[in-house]
Amino acid sequence: MFQMLAFKNGACLKDNIKVVSINKDGDRGLKVAASNGEIFWCKKCVVTVGGWMRNLVKTVCGIELPIQPLETNVCYWRIKDGHEVEYAIGNDFPTFASYGHPYIYGTPSLEYPGLIKVAVHGGYQWKVDSSKPVMTQLCVYSMTPDEDFVIDFLGGEFGKDVVIGGGFSGHGFKMSPAIGRILA
């Protein structure tokens, strides 16, 4: 949904490619090279690579960010027959979070209509009662020690031409409209 809105507003989005270098090239601006051979030229560049942020920043400018990628399971439960409408996105489904230890949250599922997404924040695992999820997925978090976001200019030779965003600690998607505005 957010990608479609960005695309409709003129953004150039490239998913599932590996950026191998970002270089400044005089008056031409920034040259971003991908592992598939594609080259992108731009005046400004926004980099949001999730769990790979720590490695990218260390490789490009030698700075060690305190971001730790974690893996957690995301489970989906089927909505009880006859209750699909009330638990759908945009209706009365109560997004919830239990801020204890472990921290558990749940939301309606945009990707899988008719299912409810439930997960443990931060990579903890737990055993559920006799009911079983319909499906599970692995989710990669880029976690900072204090769970605060890392949003800054890359600096060095790039000055303020390259901005990075990462370490969203499992909250990036929820905050993506605001983060996108800040990064742009």
What pLDDT sits at residue 30?
93
What pLDDT sits at residue 5?
80
What pLDDT sits at residue 152?
92
DSSP the chain: -HHHHHHHTT-----S--EEEEEE-GGG-EEEEETTS-EEEESSEEE--GGGHHHHHHHHH------EEEEEEEEEEEPPTT-TTTTSTTTT---EEE-SSS-EEEEE-SSSTTEEEEEETTS------S---SEEEEEEEEE-TT---EEEE--GGGTTSEEEEE--TT-HHHHHHHHHHHH-
pLDDT in tens, 19-66: 888 899 888 999 999 889 999 999 988 888 877 888 888 887 888 888
pLDDT in tens, 127-139: 434 456 667 777 7
Give the start-to-end residue ranges of the domains of the chain: 2-67+147-183, 70-143
Calculate the average pLDDT of the chain.
80
- Assign domain 2-67+147-183 to its CATH superfamily: FAD/NAD(P)-binding domain (3.50.50.60)
pTM: 0.56
Higher-confidence residue: 161 or 142? Answer: 161
Cα–Cα distance, 93 to 106 (Å, whole number): 10
What pLDDT sits at residue 141?
76
